[in-house]
Amino acid sequence: MYAYRPLTNSYYSEAVVALILYDITNRTSFKNVEGWLKELRDHTDPDTVIGLIGTKSDLCHLRAVTKEEITSFALKERVLCIETSALDDINVNTAFHCPITQALRIKGQYGELRTNFCMKINRMNR
């Protein structure tokens, strides 16, 4: 991973949205979020919208990170947060839609792009 760091840093510079994923059943993956968040904030514009995406919500009985911890962290760090399940198709599209919509609002383009963007999302949901 470190060998590719200079390359990945160049991609961050123009990011409008960044998603950090962690596994709700793996505490270490959640602990690693802080490092990735620092990395993003060091290399992106302050207006970059960051989404914190918890995966495997279908395995909530194996949860290693509480919802309270996640919510508290997200509020403190000012990031969006959502839990998803690819297996059960829960919040997968929303995990992309919410941060992108927020970024469009920040950039002042939401009004122009809203209809076209929502139509594309709706087509993908079918």
Q: What is the DSSP string of 94-108?
A: HHHHHHHHHHHHHHT
Contact yes or no for 83/65 (Cβ under 8 A): no
**CA–CA dist 94, 76 (Å, integer):** 22
> Sorting pLDDT into bands at 50, 70 and 90, what band is 7?
low
Do you know the residue count of the chain? 126
The per-residue pLDDT for range 44-103, each reduced to its tens digit, is 888 899 999 999 999 999 999 999 999 999 999 999 999 999 999 999 999 999 999 988
Q: For residue 2, what pLDDT is reported?
A: 53
Is the confidence at residue 124, as pLDDT, over 50? no
List the domains of the chain with CATH numbers: 2-125 (3.40.50.300)
Q: Has this prediction a pTM greater than 0.85?
A: no
3-state DSSP assignment of residue 78: coil
- 3-state secondary structure at position 18: strand
Q: Give the sheet arrangement for strand 80-83, strand by strand.
A: 17-23, 49-55, 80-83
- The radius of gyration computed from the CA coordinates of the chain, to the nearest angstrom, equals 15
